[in-house]
Amino acid sequence: MNILVSCMGYDGGKSGISTYMRNVIENFKDSSHSITLILEYDSVDTFKTYTKIAIPRVFSKSLMGMLWHFLILPFYTFRKKYDCILILAASRRYLAFSKIPQIGVIHDLSAYRIDKKYDPIRMFYLRKLQPWLGKRLDEIVAISQSTKDDIIRYWRITPDKVTLNYNGLTKLQQPDERIQKRLDLKKYILYVSRIEHPGKNHLGLIKAYRSLPTSIRDEYKLVFAGSDWKGAKTVRDYVSQSSDSDKIIFTGFVSNAELSSLYKQASIFVFPSFSEGFGLPLLEAMSSSVPCACANNTSLGEIAGDAALLFDPENTDQISNCILRILSDEELSADLTQRGIARSKQFDWNHHSLKLLSICEYIYERNSYLDVFGIEFLNGRMHEVIRIIDENICKKRKKKIAFINAHYLNTAYEDTEQIERLNRFDYVLPDGSGVSLACKLLGYRYRENLNGTDLLPLLCRLFEQRGYTMYFFGSAETVAERAAQNFLKKYPKLKIIGYRSGYFKKQEEEDIILKINQLSPDLLVVGFGVKLQEKWVDENFDKLNCRIVAAMGGILDVYSGDAPRGHPLLRKLGLEWVRRLYNEPKRLAKRYLFGNPLFLYRVAKSRFLLLKVKN
């Protein structure tokens, strides 16, 4: 799969979202999928082994970045053949439209729980626009049960569209203990979070700290580790006016090694936030053998389980009581430490990342087969078709392949027998702009035109490399022979072991099949024309000693030179049928001039019936 991964919001590790992205991307590196990252211009050197799309510097600001993601990024889904887009911070960034499925990771909906968390414009966006945008995601990933419950409640989304996928535990670096000397830290109470007011509840913890006995405050400092964020000035001003200001330390942004040291030397870790989607620092503290106390709301109580003391973050007495209990009871502290270590081992980034990829695979597979007029066909990429054929030949499995276009769908529209026959084929491939247009009208995400005319040369290249064999069976006298000669000029090592015309008497059929079976080709190309070729393949498939039997219409006429293809521009515009009509107006006028409008009418009618049933 070709997966486009949006890492917008990555800030080098200053925020929890950034830490999340770094861990996920690092665990993607061993994936067999082709992954392209979207990063802001100053972060493109962070993940060196990936293909990247750098956002122009002019869009580096938050609002401009959101607009780029919303309005410009969708066009990248058209330019490149990506199979899906994974948005790692979908709480903020969406696409106005997309040709490919969208999977979004939602970290929290704290804007619903904390009034005035942001400015009025952003609150309007998060509470009014975000639910509508979120519903347009093909799949939503929630990093905790609490977040999943909030999505279902506030966005009114059905539970089956939201997948729970717990975050992992961040592996910390070797401790850099110089930070303790620099900040003159001996014993301290630690809180790791960006300095944000009111959401992170720093003031609540400060008030709880100040209510502790003087002896405790003299022995233990209160350390806030994290960068300044919205409302940081309120927190700092409150501390500066406090009589305990000399005991409350702001470290600012710390490196991973410094953070590791802060955890290792802390006497207790306290997490009093009003709302958290997950709370990574809690697990980091537990894994660092630090006894923990945390809020009992949102995801914190869920993640902590029985490995931390829980409190109501609104109640400063409860916060101070939990701190005091841990600091004064060595047995309790030791028990919480052991429980915390065990609890932290239950969360793994590799498991989380693999589940994200499996969700992408599931969404892709879910759209891998489409249905028009009761005929089910493969919705995939050309390289997948080549891989499928290669695997089946290699494993000596017999398969039959057919192609459908607008003309074929017209002929099958009211022909139950023809529909049933085609659905017995192992693979039915969409051929032409008519099927593409039908899929768009029916609301499908159509991936690629898998027409036989483009496929056969690619198969010739594969067969030449692998040493596979093929046999051409169809069209008028000398056509199959000339097509074979033309292919051999381009692929001199290609093994075309036989060919014959598609005109024969019924009594000759057994002899023809016998001769084909004696040669036992890996691919038998059958070209008799619509309906007749599918009927012949279906009736004789079990008699044939071939790996792949493909009903490919007039393809031999094309490569013999009798029916040259249209200009590449016509093909790109989906108008190659115009060239065919020009070449054979008498034979094809009815098919295209009458058949195409009839086909569109029938598709529109099917769309109307689908909407009626849905409503």
Instruction: Name beta bridge partners: 269.
Output: 190, 292
Please tell me the number of Cα atoms within 13 Å of 122 on its side-chain side.
Answer: 16
Percent of the chain whose predicted confidence (pLDDT) is above 90? 61
- Contacts of residue 461, Cβ cutoff 8 Å, sequence gap at least 6: 491
Q: Which of 128, 125, 130, 131 is nearest to 156 (CA)?
A: 131
Residue 602 lies in a domain: no
Predicted confidence band of residue 289 (pLDDT cuts 50, 70, 90): very high
Whether 410 and 436 share a structural domain: yes
Whether 160 and 275 share a structural domain: no
pLDDT at 64: 85
Whether 569 and 462 share a structural domain: yes
pLDDT at 615: 60
Whether 131 and 202 share a structural domain: no
| Residue 201 to residue 458: CA distance in whole angstroms | 62
- Residues listed for the chain: 615
How many CB atoms neighbour CB 350 within 10 A? Answer: 12
- 8 A C-beta contact, residue 341 and residue 263: no
Question: Rounded mean pLDDT of 395-411?
Answer: 93
Domain of residue 13, CATH code: 3.40.50.2000
Whether 569 and 435 share a structural domain: yes
- Contacts of residue 134, Cβ cutoff 8 Å, sequence gap at least 6: 90, 94, 104, 106, 140, 151, 155, 157
Q: Is the peptide bond before 131 cis (omega within 30 degrees of 0)?
A: no
**Cα angle for residues 16, 22, 23 (degrees, 5° grid):** 90
Predicted confidence band of residue 613 (pLDDT cuts 50, 70, 90): low
Q: In terms of residue numbers, what domain contains 559?
A: 367-578
Q: What is the mean pLDDT of the chain?
A: 91
Q: Is the pLDDT of residue 612 over 70?
A: no
Q: Is the pLDDT of residue 614 over 70?
A: no
- 8 A C-beta contact, residue 276 and residue 252: no
Residue 614 lies in a domain: no
Domain boundary among 346, 375, 395: 346
Domain boundary among 547, 563, 578: 578
Residue 38 lies in a domain: yes
Domain of residue 415, CATH code: 3.40.50
What is the SS3 assignment for 141-196? EECCHHHHHHHHHHHCCCHHHEEECCCCCCCCCCCCCHHHHHHCCCCEEEEECCEC
Instruction: Name beta bridge partners: 295.
Output: 311
List pLDDT tens digits, range 249-272: 999 988 889 999 999 999 999 999
Q: Is the pLDDT of residue 61 over 80?
A: no
Dihedral (Cα; 433, 439, 441, 442), 10-degree rounding: 160
Candidate from 116-125, 433-442, 490-499 with smallest mean pLDDT: 116-125
Residue 496 lies in a domain: yes
Whether 473 and 331 share a structural domain: no
Instruction: Name beta bridge partners: 270.
Output: 293
List pLDDT tens digits, range 443-475: 888 989 999 999 999 999 999 999 999 999 999
3-state secondary structure of 363: helix
Predicted confidence band of residue 10 (pLDDT cuts 50, 70, 90): confident
Residue 354 lies in a domain: no
In the numeric block, the tokens 């995400």 are attached to 445
List pLDDT tens digits, range 217-236: 999 999 999 999 889 999 99
List pLDDT tens digits, range 520-556: 999 999 998 888 999 999 999 999 999 999 999 889 9
| Residue 438 to residue 602: CA distance in whole angstroms | 9
| Backbone CA torsion sign across 184, 190, 196, 201 | negative
Residue 418 lies in a domain: yes
pLDDT at 213: 95
Whether 316 and 414 share a structural domain: no
pLDDT at 126: 85
Residue 598 lies in a domain: no
Residue 173 lies in a domain: no
End-to-end CA distance of the chain: 34
Predicted confidence band of residue 189 (pLDDT cuts 50, 70, 90): very high
Q: Is the pLDDT of residue 568 over 80?
A: no
Q: What is the pTM of this model?
A: 0.79
Domain boundary among 140, 164, 188: 164
Whether 146 and 202 share a structural domain: no
How many CB atoms neighbour CB 18 within 10 A? Answer: 19
List pLDDT tens digits, range 71-98: 998 888 776 688 999 999 998 788 888 8
Query: What are 399's two structure tokens?
Result: 């398969």
List pLDDT tens digits, range 123-133: 888 888 889 99
Q: Is the pLDDT of residue 193 over 80?
A: yes
Whether 132 and 212 share a structural domain: no
Whether 322 and 380 share a structural domain: no
Query: What are 537's two structure tokens?
Result: 């393949």
pLDDT at 345: 94
pLDDT at 580: 77
Whether 339 and 479 share a structural domain: no
The Cα-based distances of 579 to 167, 435, 569, 589 in angstroms read 56, 18, 11, 12
Question: Rounded mean pLDDT of 313-327?
Answer: 97
pLDDT at 567: 77
Q: Is the pLDDT of residue 117 over 80?
A: no
Whether 435 and 479 share a structural domain: yes
Q: Which of 334, 308, 360, 284 is nearest to 84 (CA)?
A: 360
Domain count, the chain: 3
